[in-house]
Amino acid sequence: MRIVMIGSGYVGLVSGACFADFGHQVICVDKDESKIARLNAGQIPIYEPGLDDLVARNVASGRLAFTTELSAPVEQADVVFIAVGTPSRRGDGHADLSYVYAAAAEMAPSLKGFTVVVTKSTVPVGTGDEVERIIGETNPEAQFAVASNPEFLREGAAIEDFKRPDRIVIGIEDERARPVMEEVYRPLYLNQAPLLFTGRRTSELIKYAANAFLAVKITFINEIADLCEAVGADVQQVARGIGLDNRIGSKFLHAGPGYGGSCFPKDTLALVKTAEDSGAPIRIVEATVAVNDSRKRAMGRKIITACGGSVRGKKIAVLGLTFKPNTDDMRDAPSLAIIQALEDGGAQVAAFDPEGMAAARPLLPNVEFATSPYEAADGASALVIVTEWNAFRALDLEALRARMAEGVLVDLRNIYRPDAVEAAGFTYTGVGRGLAV
Ligand code: NAD
């Protein structure tokens, strides 16, 4: 299959490289000239484990190429994927579909022969109808079908997720798209990944329902964690105790500073807006959005409390800035709100992140960036773990303590045993650990 991927970001680049690895002929297109120049120079513009090898191998085999030029590749394509961003629209929280619609309008004049146009971006119900209208109006001669194929990969494990998905959801309204999409995913289909064909609107909604459900699950355990602190219970054990029930499941039951990242915040908000507009409000997701929004700054207050009620004039070391480990993505990372709260309280923040510091620098102009966790801790009154990178799981606590002015450790991911931390000369504050374990 000849595939064009419009948008070469976290989703487009990973999907394009994986499709090429399946044996398809893939051209990734992006408007960002510097991104394409870097890709053509053999550099990967994002941090995603394994992506450099995958891209290099498929470029070398001649199955993967990068360009800013849309028209020639689209003329040749059997399938054109749209994988551009759909951020929150400023002001009202609806998904901003301007990039998706622009991509549809830009490709339309170049469509030749029957082509399947697929939205891989996360888009609200009805977007496929609009993409179909835009292409049809721009190029009335075009022979095409518009399908929805939402992406469920997680940053940090994106290649594994793409190649071994729990399911592949494909929404179609035109049966001509079915054999084409089956061919695109045939290598995975043979490995028994269920290919779930639905209507296009259903497929669009599945993506939002899935993300909202996961966000609800995270927020649920976060509120249980707060209750644990109030009543002297331990959320780690509560999570295990409920997660062993197969109907609940143990995943996404880790109490922490609130969800962030490039998907959950914007997708939960967009679902709330779609539901409101459709006269079917989803109150549980509305509550989740509100609870999670207030939680991030509350984590800042938690750190200030752990420091005795004030951080004015103190140095606070923050370990982990990205919204989760194994990515450099800083979009909507909880660290941003937490650090803001600390700076508002008069603290000087020093931070270290294994991969996120380049993306974090412009967002955190007052932060001092360290070259290691130990350097960040120099002279600090408190050490705060915000993101659970593996590199932070086995720190030399005594060495850290020796470099610090005061011994406060706030573990917003519950990765340390309180007794081990206390033995190294710290006071320990976790999330939802009302009882020492
Ligand atoms: P991104 O911002 O990393 O990448 C989007 C890319 O599209 C950018 O490089 C941008 O320059 C390019 N672009 C925008 N308009 C273009 C146009 N008209 N022509 C060519 N290129 C254009 O975004 P992302 O994280 O890859 O997300 C893309 C979509 O996938 C979003 O809808 C997102 O919700 C969804 N999604 C993301 C993830 C994730 O983990 N990042 C997971 C599942 C789904």
Ligand 1 mean position to 124 CA, how many Å?
Answer: 15
Write out the binding residues for substrate.
Answer: 152-155, 207, 252-256, 260, 324
- Rounded to whole angstroms, the Cα distance separating 309 from 388 reads 25
- Amino acid 436: pLDDT: 45
Kindly name the residue from 28, 228, 263, 307 that is annotated as catalytic. 263
User: For a substitution probing ligand 1, which of 48, 84, 110 has the most ligand atoms within 8 Å of its CB?
Assistant: 84
pTM over 0.90: yes
Q: Where are the alpha helices (DSSP H) in 61-140?
A: 71-76, 98-107, 127-138
- Amino acid 189: pLDDT: 77
- Amino acid 91: pLDDT: 87
pLDDT digits (tens, 9 = 90+) for 409-425: 999 999 999 999 999 99
- Amino acid 193: pLDDT: 83
Domain spanning 2-198: CATH superfamily = NAD(P)-binding Rossmann-like Domain (3.40.50.720)
Question: Relative to the CA of 12, which ligand 1 atom is closest?
Answer: 26
Question: Relative to the CA of 263, which ligand 1 atom is closest?
Answer: 34
- Rounded to whole angstroms, the Cα distance separating 281 from 149 reads 25
Q: Which residues line ligand 1 (CB under 6 A)?
A: 6-12, 29-32, 35, 83-86, 99, 102-103, 106, 121-122, 151, 153, 155, 262-263
Question: Relative to the CA of 7, which ligand 1 atom is closest?
Answer: 7
Dihedral angle, C-alpha 262, 265, 266, 269, nearest 10 °: 170
Ligand 1 mean position to 87 CA, how many Å?
Answer: 9
If you average pLDDT over residues 49-67, what whole number do you get?
98
Element (H, E) at 427: strand 427-429
Ligand 1 mean position to 13 CA, how many Å?
Answer: 9
Task: Report yes or no: 86 and 265 within 8 Å, Cβ to Cβ.
Answer: no
- Hey, is 210 helix, strand or coil? helix
Predicted confidence band of residue 435 (pLDDT cuts 50, 70, 90): low
Predicted confidence band of residue 434 (pLDDT cuts 50, 70, 90): confident
pLDDT digits (tens, 9 = 90+) for 164-210: 999 999 999 999 999 999 999 999 877 778 999 999 999 999 999 99
Distances (CA, A) of 382 to 316, 415, 426: 5, 16, 9
Q: Where are the domains of the chain?
A: 2-198, 226-429
- Hey, is 27 helix, strand or coil? strand
Q: Where are the alpha helices (DSSP H) in 66-176?
A: 71-76, 98-107, 127-138, 158-163
The amino acid present at 393, given as its one-letter code, is R
Among protein residues, the one whose CA lies closest to atom 38 of ligand 1: 11
Burial track 165-187 (b if 16+ CB lie within 10 A, e otherwise) = beebbbbbeeeebbebbeebbeb
Establish whether 263 is a catalytic residue: yes
Instruction: Please give the CATH number for the structural domain made up of 226-429.
Output: 3.40.50.720
pLDDT digits (tens, 9 = 90+) for 372-389: 999 999 999 999 999 999
pLDDT reading at 395 higher than 50? yes
| Domain pair 2-198 / 226-429, same fold | yes
Q: Measure CA of the first residue to CA of the last residue in the chain; give whole Å.
A: 56
pLDDT reading at 300 higher than 70? yes
pLDDT digits (tens, 9 = 90+) for 317-375: 999 999 999 999 999 999 999 999 999 999 999 999 999 999 999 999 999 999 999 99
pLDDT reading at 437 higher than 80? no
Task: Report the DSSP pairing between strands 79-82 and 315-319.
Answer: unpaired
If you average pLDDT over residues 13-31, what whole number do you get?
98
The amino acid present at 421, given as its one-letter code, is V
- Rounded to whole angstroms, the Cα distance separating 71 from 24 reads 19
